[in-house]
Structure 1
Amino acid sequence: MKIARTISVALLLLMGVMDLARAQTSRASSSQHKPNIIFIMSDDHGYQAVSAYSNKLIQTPNIDRIGREGAVMRNAFVTNSICSPARAVIMTGKYSHMNGMRDNGTYFDGHQQTLPKILKANGYRTALVGKWHLFSEPTGFDYWNILPDQGHYYNPKFIKMGKDTVYTGYVTDVTTDLALDWIGRHRDQPFFIMLHHKAPHRNWMPPQQYLREFNDRRFALPHDFYDDYAGREALQRQLISMKEGLDVRYDSKVPCDTCTVANVNHWAPAEFQREMERLTPAERQAWDKAYQDEYKTFAQIKDKDQLLRWQYQRFMEDYLRCVHSVDDNIGRVLKYLDDNGLARKTIVVYMSDQGVYLGEHGLYDKRFMYEESFRTPMLIRFPQAISPRQQIDAYVLNLDVAPTFLDFAGIAIPGDMQGESMKTLLQKGKVKDWRKELYYHYYEKSFGATAHYGIRTERYKLIHFYDPGNSWELYDLKNDPHEMHNLYGDPAYRNTVEKLKAQLKSLQRKYNDPYDEKNNKF
């Protein structure tokens, strides 16, 4: 009996070991079937400067390839068009008022639930490389190596897992180098990496190889470049117009020690010098040689309008030079996936943290709910599960990124995430009950901006500017796609306004963002 009991116990132990082995094998098998995820985000890359959306300004073959081999989201938007809040929305799948990051002046609460934390808890290796701009220390990542604040274009300083490190080279190349190095060391299990580029954010410093690119181009002024902002109080208050906001040194790259043009802007005179000091002697020599003609042209400018037109050309040249470098480096990532047999099982998403104005309405920044900054490029590729050459017109948001990744990974989407998974949309091209309207809320008041919220439908956009001031704007996007004519006070649109206000209230209740009309605040 004793022998029998001993054999029985041994068998039970053996069965337990076998069950554990099977469970481990099952988890490993399940983990192996999870897709790798590479989320690539640039800063202030307008959809107008992606040739998958428009080829008028630049060709971006590598970014376009993501869409050609997957899907181009034709109507991708953000919930709050400013850097830090947009990043927090992607991290959490929640609106700014829910994740606590309403503007660039606060710290992101890293203790809350985030996408990388969920993925890490479900078998993923996680990493973040490049621009962070959420001010608190990153959490949920096995590895992080980030630019402090906005970062620098040349020979940039990074913070590697809490330790300062300076790298030699151009920031877009360095960021990609770091990302590919990490992927190479962790491709044996599912990985998630956020590859965040600084470019093409202000002050648009191009890499050495593109210092002369676009010298032969003359960029046409947008048709609304001289917008007079009639009937739009918030635009009259803003300080992000090219006419008043561009610094001839920091933005246009002219030393301007003795400027002769009246009222030349000096937004950040010391900043330009600090950026130039980061260049090596050889880099500085090449830089000065490339820009000599610009210095000479500037010296011949006689009036304010001539200066404005010249600055617009300088802005477009440097901005697009930075975009070219971003596109090159995305090509490097795609080639790496091809060369290492990872392409088919890896989700690749490219987008910007928000859109940006490239001279439309005479502006150069973002913030407003007007289309150029409200919309963002978004291209998605996953050969294993997404058909190629899709052009998807459904309204999607940066709010949808986190739930989409979780859905493709087979991980339950937390009930408090406010976005929607795009998985079915990407696989079928449409979803019966997909959103037909968008809610936006911007809070920050720097650069003369006005806090505002609004609703966009296929035909109309209604915006309420509430701090400072109290004004409404209505646009008929079918007849006025460039949003030049505020129809809010037009009696012919009274019923439209009332209907849109009711829809707006419904969206605020849906997203738990109620507005107190009596006290004009949230």
Structure 2
Amino acid sequence: MTDRPPNILLILSDDHASHAISAYGSAVTRTPHLDAIAERGRRVDACFCTNSVCTPSRASILTGQHSHRNGVTTLHSSFDASLPTFATQLQAAGYRTGIVGKWHLGEGEGHDPQGFDHWEVLRGQGEYVDPQLLSPDGVEIAEGYVTDVLTDRGMAWVDSLEDEEPWCLLIYHKAPHRNWQPDAAHAGLHRDPIPLPPTFHDDYATRSSAAHMAAMRVADHLTPHDLKVDPPADLAPEQLARWKYQRYMEDYLDCVAAIDDSVGRVTQWLTERGEVDDTLLMYSSDQGFFLGDHGWFDKRFIYEESMQMPLLVSWPRSIEPGPPVDQLVTNVDFARTILDAAGAEPHEDMQGLSFLPQLQGSTAPTQDAVYYRYYENDDRESHVLAHYGIRTDRYKLIYFYNDGQGHPGSSDRRFIPEWELYDLRLDPREVRNVAHDPAYAEVRRQLTRRLWELQAELGDEPHPDQPVPQ
């Protein structure tokens, strides 16, 4: 098979935090099959989403564009499925392409998947049990647990191919998205007390108003509906918070365990087909997730646990096992990287950079900073304020511009813009905002200018209230 391009297999989960993967040093679970991808290839340590919400991240992965370029800025944005994607480019290069699983980019004319020879996608968020699958033939109820159903359907499509053309398969899982529902085979695997993260009791003392306003605290905002059971009566507030965290993590991690086992099945299937060496296998998630970090669940913020995406990559024929890749990459870079591996041309409108050379051992930096923007200002569910910022290898600068725009459910309140700055080398958990510390004045000035420059390079408009850097 060395005379043809590699097969491409991208397995994408939903809300799977890097720190719920043992290859990343998880203190709460073990994921041996995911770890094995990194052992055969590389673990990417500095992979970040550019907008930590499901729909925008998925659009950026496909199109290789930031949210302001592809038009998918919020959970409620409409995706133009006719946009060029890495799937359309692979088709043009002779690949057979398929997607099975969570689409979440709209449904109906102009929104259904394009650029795929085969597609079966969940309707909306999808169901954990007996999910509805939409295809060109209509809607089918697929009996079984969603993680198993999607894995089976994806492998079956590849097995149905009769020619020798290379294939690209996307298996896009629902899990471990809320409301977390493990299957019978994995329920109960995480019943021992799960340690609280070090920042569970974060008081946000140095932060802007955004952290104080966010309505996603485990203690205050996880509901019986989320947890599928009422808490014991008469628990003291601290006991109740601990009980909610334990229940949340049990279900979340049991869902992750099913994902891990499904990855093991796929790897075994590739081995039996004799294709494991010639397949670019990538495992990632559309964004990270707070696992009690800073007292939160959910995502949306630019903070590390939300912004970081796991990324494990193997391609034994071309990528030798090696140390973790620590150069900065984003979900916008996925498209060009996949096309680079396939020897296919990227579309001229694709942003981002290929990080294939870094996967193959180059230590040259891909970029000096990555850009992030969250648009859904003060939405009625999470109340996270709109913001953008940049992350370098050491610092993170954030501007909460808070203009009350960007989401139909916004309360349309207006807030005073606020800055945050974190020194990730000295403060990796981001608990000390140094934006107003005189010792960081020059760092802030330089980062503010780089933010402004990066917005210009990417074609995004700064908020009118953002001061022009001197």
Q: TM-score, normalised by structure 1?
A: 0.83
Whether contact under 8 Å (1:242, 1:362) holds in the other structure is yes
Match of 1:167 in 2: 142
Deviation at 1:520, TM superposition (A): 8.8
Whether contact under 8 Å (2:300, 2:384) holds in the other structure is yes
Match of 2:362 in 1: 429
Query: Which of 419, 444, 465 is the equivalent residue of 2:376?
Result: 444
Whether contact under 8 Å (1:126, 1:193) holds in the other structure is yes
Structure-2 separation of matches of 1:368 and 1:162:
39
Could you report, residue by residue, the CA deviation over 1:160-193 in whole angstroms, capped at 9, with x for unpaired residues?
Answer: 2251100111000000010010011126321111
The one-letter amino acid paired with 2:396 is K
Query: Which of 2, 6, 9 is the equivalent residue of 1:38?
Result: 9
Structure 1 residue 240 corresponds to structure 2 residue 178: no
Match of 1:478 in 2: 425
Q: TM-score, normalised by structure 2?
A: 0.92
Where 2:176 maps in the other structure, the secondary structure is coil
Structure-1 separation of matches of 2:221 and 2:4:
51
Whether contact under 8 Å (1:403, 1:419) holds in the other structure is yes
Structure-1 separation of matches of 2:31 and 2:290:
18
Structure-1 separation of matches of 2:22 and 2:302:
23
Deviation at 1:436, TM superposition (A): 2.0
Structure 1 residue 454 corresponds to structure 2 residue 425: no
Structure-1 separation of matches of 2:392 and 2:149:
41
Structure-2 separation of matches of 1:493 and 1:503:
15
Match of 2:408 in 1: none
Where 1:192 maps in the other structure, the secondary structure is strand
User: Kindly tell me: are residues 342 and 451 of structure 1, through their superposed partners in 2, closer, same or farther at Cα, counting changes over 3 Å?
Assistant: same
Match of 2:43 in 1: 72
Match of 1:302 in 2: 235
Structure label with greater radius of gyration: 1
Match of 1:220 in 2: 195
Where 2:46 maps in the other structure, the secondary structure is strand
Whether contact under 8 Å (1:35, 1:409) holds in the other structure is yes
Structure 1 residue 47 corresponds to structure 2 residue 18: yes
Could you report, residue by residue, the CA deviation over 1:240-265 in whole angstroms, capped at 9, with x for unpaired residues?
Answer: 111222112x22221x4xxxxxxxxx
Output the aligned Cα RMSD. 1.7
Structure 1 residue 337 corresponds to structure 2 residue 300: no
Whether contact under 8 Å (2:28, 2:195) holds in the other structure is no
Match of 2:228 in 1: 253
Match of 2:119 in 1: 144
Match of 1:508 in 2: 455
Structure-1 separation of matches of 2:441 and 2:196:
35
Structure-2 separation of matches of 1:460 and 1:520:
20
Structure 1 residue 192 corresponds to structure 2 residue 168: yes
Structure 1 residue 134 corresponds to structure 2 residue 66: no
Whether contact under 8 Å (1:93, 1:417) holds in the other structure is yes
Whether contact under 8 Å (1:466, 1:520) holds in the other structure is no
Match of 2:84 in 1: 113
Structure-1 separation of matches of 2:79 and 2:222:
30
Query: 1:489-500 maps to which residues of 2 (within 5 A)?
Result: 489-500=436-447
The one-letter amino acid paired with 1:466 is Y
Aligned length, in residue pairs: 447
Segments of 4+ moved more than 6 angstroms: none
Structure-1 separation of matches of 2:137 and 2:217:
37
Where 1:126 maps in the other structure, the secondary structure is strand
Moved more, 421-430 or 174-183: 421-430
Whether contact under 8 Å (1:67, 1:390) holds in the other structure is no
Q: Percent identity?
A: 42
Whether contact under 8 Å (2:84, 2:347) holds in the other structure is no
Long gaps (5+) in structure 1: 1-28, 257-297
Long gaps (5+) in structure 2: 404-414
Deviation at 1:380, TM superposition (A): 0.7
Structure-2 separation of matches of 1:237 and 1:162:
45
Deviation at 1:475, TM superposition (A): 0.9
Query: 1:357-376 maps to which residues of 2 (within 5 A)?
Result: 357-376=290-309
Where 2:328 maps in the other structure, the secondary structure is strand
